[in-house]
Structure 1
Amino acid sequence: MSAYIKLELSDWLYNAGIVGIVNILKHADNVVEFDGQSVSFGIECLDNFEEKYFNYFIDTYEKTMTYTRILEKIEKILNICIDDKKIDKEKLENLKKDINYIKDKMKRAAYKDVKLLVDKMDLDKNIQIKELKQLLIQNRNKILKIENIGYYNQQNKKSTPNAIIDKYLNTGMINIDKFYEDILEYAKCDKDKYKFNCCKCYSKIKEIKEGLSFLNRIYFDTARKTSNVWNFESDIEVCPICKLVYYCVPAGFTTIYGKGMFINANHSVENAVDINFKIKHEILNNNESNRSNSTFKALITALHESINDEAKYELADIQVVRYEDEKYRFNLLSRNILKVLNESKEELNYIIKCGFKEINTYFNIYEETLNKLLNNENLFMLIHKTLIFKISGYSDLHYNIGHIKNINKINFNFMRGVGYMENIERDILKSASGAGYYLKEAYKSKNSENKLDGIAYRLLNALKTNNKSMFMDTLLNCYLYTNKLVPQFFIDCLKDEIVFKTIGYSFVSGLIDGEEYKKTNEGGNN
């Protein structure tokens, strides 16, 4: 009977490694056995592990790599007859741009072997383009392996923008081909005389070597920074099996365009593998040209599926680990937040493509909304800002009042989820927005529509500063001017700050653009 390796869930980093090794082995059609919080596989699965390791990254991320974009441009060029002298000017300009793009990318280390032959070509004839295509296909695995590995600059603490592995591992220390032999030797040897322990699983180990310095942004170089440890003697070292797990961390994350995500669903290994697979599938199969919020969208989709599958396991707090801007970021999604996300899935879908530009930075409203929810923050400031921008006449706004109303609905769900407004019905938002719409109509009937922007500004200032007196003074003057009754819910909302702001912002949204109140679908894309 062959020897088996058994791995058990632990902290988020180790769990990412476990999910990674399962992904690699399953991609290679090896058998793994799940058992609650542990997973087992035969030690023979690690035979030829280096090839399995890199094949996983090559096949998984091929579509996101420069290699694929080069091939796409080559296909585009081949669809145009370069030798044809009757090519129109616009096509010729695009052709030159594509050829220059290809030549520029050929300067990278991944294309070293291909570049030697490309340098001898002019790339201005179809036959040469076809030869280049053939060369790239022949060198596919080698090129994609280098592109996936990337390069992490220790001095500048920067990684290659579109690479995968260098976000998590020191690429200068990658040595995967020895794992199988090291683990076999470790399994057979007599460990009774070993003096040290693995800092992760506490198994006996022979000596302290490099520690965990191969993990970027997590551990330090124990050989060069001895002052970081007690008595200048490091005891940070792992056994070959744990080292294998940590080397598989990049395969546990889903990484695209410099952003990575891992869901530490530690209810069971199978659950963790499944939910992270769903995220990977959503991100890598997203056909939209703008993928800036694809990781968030994938997270929500995967969580919705998990919530709908709640009968299989108890819905518990979930840790989300994100890699962004060369740093790890952590969020703990409580049961309440998970329910809010599930209740708000329609509203979230409506604001996916919404955004605005502030100074020189573009902000995606969907991403801003989820960032706040993941950090357990309410959305009042985001609602306030979007309303202010709307009445100020900013030109670079990609949203309408319907989108703001959806943000307010999401915020309503959030506030109820954290214990506020439990006795308030969601219909109050529509009533408040309708009141704003009818007040606007009353001003229009008096030919005083030009006063509404100033009124909206005063109401928003009162809401921002939580000044109920200012808000009610402005509101009463408006209703006196139009000779109408003030809706009762305005009086009731004064008892609670959260209800006051929720109703207030909903009212202003109807006042600013009452036409939106007529629309049955308040979402949509602008």
Structure 2
Amino acid sequence: MIKVTLNDYLYNSGILGLIRIFEHSGIDYQKEGNQSILFEESALENFENYYFNYLIDEYGYDTSYSKMLNYESYLLNSKQNFNDDKQLEHFNEIIDNMKKWLTSNSYKNTYKFLTEIDYSFEATAKSLKKVSKKKNETFEDIADQVKETSETLLTCIENLKHPQARHYLVARTLSYQIVQGFWTNVAFLNSTASKKDLYIEYKNYFTDAVQNYLETKKNEKKYAKNKFQCATCDNTMGKLNETFDLTWLQKTGVDAARKSSHYWDHQRDIFICPICNLIYSCVPLGFTLVKGKGIFINNNQSIEQLISANLIPLRDGENELTMNELEEKAYYRILDVMDQNVESKKQLEIDNIQIVKFDKNNESRPYTFNILSKQKAALIVKAKKDLNYLVGKYLKEGREYTDLYQEIIKRIYNGQSFYDLLNKLMKLYISGDFKNLAAIYRILRISNTQFEGSKHFMTLDELQKVRGTGYYLRRAYKEQGQENKLSGISYRLLNALKVKNPNKFMETLIQAYSYKKMEIPSVFIQALSDEKKFQAIGYALLLGLNGYESNNEQGEEK
């Protein structure tokens, strides 16, 4: 039996990837205690196929291969006459795409392995030509050309449906699209392996090394003399050629051949065994990925919780999730599977959980890390509706875009205040450079939620009442045609909030109310004695003063 045990985030994502492969392929494994799994050596037979089968079934939908198959229904209809230029334009776009994909190097280097398909994809692609309609021609004049090209493309697609085409072409595409973001330069991603069978290359480098190592391990006397200790597990190796390093993992490890100065006396002393090497190859399959970005929840309390925390769907019905939506579902998934301690009231029982985010396009720092603590998790739960609203909402400043959802999540993680962001958004709204006042109110609610249970907290009703006072003050100015004065009042109130000066704030407010001969609501007395309530009261007033009246859950403006 082979045993692997939870370790750091990267190794744990590899273990999760391995488990996903086993479960997808119907391979048995056992859990030992909370932290380890056991599996038979026989589970590695045909492992290279299990590896790519999982990858293809999970991510094959987002490849050029799948896009070509999806063209079939349109092409069947296009055998009929086109009615407008847009249809012809889309038809030519399909021709361009299929020509480009079918003649790409990754496809051309793979065709020789499609031994069961008696068809030349490359020759067909090279023969494809766009259909053009001259000024003096009608759509009927080009109908025969459209029909002939459609039939050529449909024949090509029919051959692409062959299981061997999917087996090789999608695997090759995903090796670059998914795997290469996590590791490179070995096995099928070695610079010399682009024209080789990627299944055989994976087997030779990873699986065969494990099986050979396990054979040597059976000689107990010889194994006991091994002196090279694996840096990740308890295994030892007797020879350097049995060991591996981590330089092939992107932005991980040290190349001992080029930078031996990282080691004491220039002698390399960090090694991993072939089994751990195989585990690390499964790292890409442990992350949940969308468009080159992904997330892994390193809930390492147990194998069970690691699996449960990462049961994050990639799609919502027919639609692929965005990275923000994926991250949002990940947080709520964590909270759904947490144990709850039933005492006088239910509270989340949580150790600090590591959230690992991956970005393939960030070459200098592909991995970023956050810690989800008990308090932060509780805040995310309480602010769920408001966070949901902020998904897909952006602030544009010049050419720069700020993702409001990500900005709020970052502040929750880092324990940062929201008031500087509220001040900026409110100022931009008054100047006309930001339109979504509902988003500002949602952020104010999230900010206020973090104080729940303390003297600084304001109920939703209290916030709405303060907002209402701002609305009635605004109405008083509008009724007398003095609405132009509101922006000046708002800027002075904002400046007082920015420098946390309740006296200056009250001075401006008194002037505004006195000018209209209105009584100042008593709620503002609280602003003088509690700095945090002062901020919440101030921004709630400004929301009403600038026209936000909504009370509905969707946050739409009336």
1:443 and 1:509 map into 2 onto residues whose CA distance is 15
CA contact (8 A) 2:438 2:548 kept: no
User: Structure 1 513/22 Cα, relative in aligned 2: closer, same or farther at 3 Å?
Assistant: same
Aligned ranges for residues 154-165 of structure 1 at < 5 Å? 163-165=177-179
Q: CA deviation at 1:182?
A: 3.0
Report the residue type matching 1:102 in the other structure. M
Bigger Cα displacement from structure 2, 310-319 vs 468-477: 310-319
Contact 1:198-1:237 within 8 A present in 2 as well:
yes
**Conserved? CA contact 1:440–1:511, under 8 Å:** yes
**Is the deviation greater in 181-190 or in 217-226?**
181-190
In our comparison, the structure showing a higher alpha carbon Rg is 2
- Which residue identity lines up with residue 473 of structure 2 in the other structure? L
CA separation of 1:482/1:147 partners in 2, compared to 1, >3 Å: closer, same or farther?
Answer: same
Does the CA contact (< 8 Å) of 2:298 and 2:355 recur in 1? yes
Q: Distance in 1 between matches of 2:445 and 2:20?
A: 38
* Large movers: runs of 4+ above 6 Å: 308-313
TM-superposition CA deviations, 1:418-452 (whole Å, max 9, x none): xx645644433222211211111121222211111
Aligned to 2:290: 256
Give the match's secondary structure for 1:10.
coil
Counterpart Cα distance in 2 of 1:376 and 1:200: 33
Residue deviations 1:473-515 (CA, integer Å, cap 9, x gap) = 2111111112222222322222232221122111111111143
1:296–1:370 CA contact under 8 A, matched in 2: no
Mapping of 1:254-293 within 5 angstroms?
A: 254-277=288-311, 279=312, 281=313, 283-285=314-316, 287-288=318-319, 291-293=322-324
Q: Distance in 1 between matches of 2:261 and 2:51?
A: 35
Gaps of 5+ in 2: 112-120, 131-145, 189-204
Which residue of the partner structure matches residue 432 of structure 2? 393
Q: Does 1:235 align with 2:272?
A: no
Contact 1:17/1:247 (8 A) holds in 2: yes
Aligned to 2:28, which of 22, 28, 31? 31
CA pair 344-186 structure 1, distance change in 2 beyond 3 A: farther
1:169 paired residue number: 183
Distance 1:423 1:89 in 2: 60
Cα separation, partners in 2 of 1:251 and 1:431, compared to 1, 3 Å: same
Residue identity in the other structure for 1:264: N
1:318 corresponds to 2:353: yes
**Which of 158, 162, 167 pairs up with 1:141?**
167
Bigger mean CA offset, 194-203 vs 288-297 = 288-297
Q: Which runs of 5+ in 1 are unaligned?
A: 151-162
2:435 is the counterpart of 1:403: no
Deviation string 1:110-130 (CA, Å, 9 cap, x unpaired) is 321333442234475121111
CA distance in 2, matches of 1:110, 1:116: 15
**Partner of 1:330 in structure 2?**
369
Match of 1:443 in 2: 477
> What SS is found at the alignment partner of 1:224?
coil
Cα distance 1:107–1:491, how it changes in 2: closer, same or farther (>3 A)?
A: farther
Q: Is the 8 A contact 2:6 2:12 kept in 1?
A: yes
For the Cα contact (< 8 Å) 1:7–1:39, is it kept in 2?
yes
Query: 1:179·1:240 contact (CA, 8 Å) conserved in 2?
Result: yes
* Aligned residue in 1 for 2:118: none
When normalised by structure 1's length, the TM-score is 0.88
Return closer, same or farther for 1:465/1:68 CA change in 2, 3 Å cut-off.
Answer: farther
Structure 2 residue 152 is the aligned partner of structure 1 residue 118: no
Contact 2:2 2:38 in 1 (8 A): yes
Alignment counterpart, residue 200 of structure 1, candidates 232, 253, 258: 232
Does residue 9 in structure 1 map to residue 6 in structure 2?
yes
Name the structure 2 match of 1:153.
none
CA contact (8 A) 2:103 2:125 kept: no
Question: Match of 2:518?
Answer: 484
The one-character-per-residue Cα deviations of 1:145-180 (angstroms, maximum 9, x if unpaired) are 111111xxxxxxxxxxxx111111114345334245
SS in 2 for 1:437: helix
Q: Percent identity?
A: 32
Cα distance between partner residues in 2 of 1:176 and 1:286:
36
Aligned residue type for 1:148 = L
Flag the 1:195–1:303 CA change in 2: closer, same or farther, 3 A.
Answer: closer
Contact 1:212–1:236 (8 Å) recurs in 2: no
**Offset of 1:269 from its aligned partner?**
0.6
Give the direction of change, closer, same or farther, for the CA distance of 1:173–1:108 in structure 2 (3 Å limit): same
Q: Residue 88 of structure 2 aligns with which residue?
A: 92
Q: Structure 1 residues 186 and 284 mapped into 2: Cα distance closer, same or farther (>3 Å)?
A: farther
Partner SS, residue 515 of structure 1: coil
Does residue 18 (structure 1) correspond to residue 15 (structure 2)? The answer is yes
CA–CA distance in structure 1, aligned partners of residues 213 and 225 of structure 2: 18
Report if the CA contact (8 A) 1:194-1:205 is conserved: yes
Q: What is the root-mean-square deviation in Å for CA atoms of aligned residues? A: 2.5
C-alpha spacing 1:78/1:292, structure 2 compared with 1 (3 Å): farther
Cα distance change, pair 502–66 in 1 and its aligned pair in 2 (3 A): farther
Aligned match for 2:500, one of 424, 442, 466: 466
Deviations 1:236-255 (A, max 9, x none): 11112221211111111112
Give, as a single letter, the amino acid of the residue that structure 2 aligns with 1:430: Q
Q: Does the 8 Å contact 1:33/1:40 carry over to 2?
A: yes
| CA shift in 2, pair 1:359/1:127, >3 Å | same
**TM-score, normalisation: structure 2:** 0.83
- Structure 1 pair 132–464 and aligned structure 2 pair: CA distance change class (3 A): farther
> Where do residues 507-522 of structure 1 align in structure 2 (5 Å cutoff)?
507-516=541-550, 519-521=551-553
Change (3 A) 1:290 1:381: farther
Q: CA deviation at 1:323?
A: 1.0
Q: What letter corresponds to residue 297 of structure 1 in structure 2?
A: E
Q: Secondary structure at the match of 1:176?
A: helix
Distance in 2 of aligned mates of 1:430 and 1:319: 36
Contact 2:206–2:277 (Cα < 8 Å) also in 1: no
- Corresponding position of 1:48: 46
Once the two structures are overlaid, the 10-residue window that deviates more, 109-118 or 57-66, is 109-118
Rounded to whole Å, the distance in 1 between the matches of 2:75 and 2:411 is 45
Instruction: Give CA deviations for 1:310-352 in whole Å, capped at 9, x if unaligned.
Output: 7799432211011122321010011001011111111122222
Cα offset, 1:286, TM superposition:
6.3
Q: Where does residue 365 of structure 1 map in the other structure?
A: 404
Q: Which amino acid aligns with 1:504?
A: G
2:450 equivalent to 1:384? no
Whole-angstrom distance in 2 between the partners of 1:56 and 1:42: 20
Letter in 2 for 1:405: Y
Name the count of aligned residue pairs: 499
What SS does the aligned partner of 2:505 have? Answer: helix
Q: Partners of 2:358 and 2:377 in 1: how far apart?
A: 21
CA distances 1:157-208 after superposition (whole Å, capped 9, x unpaired) = xxxxxx1111111143453342452343244233122221111124221233
SS of the residue 1:79 aligns to: helix
Deviation of 1:263 (Å): 0.3
Counterpart-to-counterpart distance in 1, 2:529 and 2:129:
76
Offset, 1:220 = 2.1
Contact 1:211–1:237 (8 Å) recurs in 2: yes
Equivalent residues of 2:387, 2:405 under 8 A apart: yes
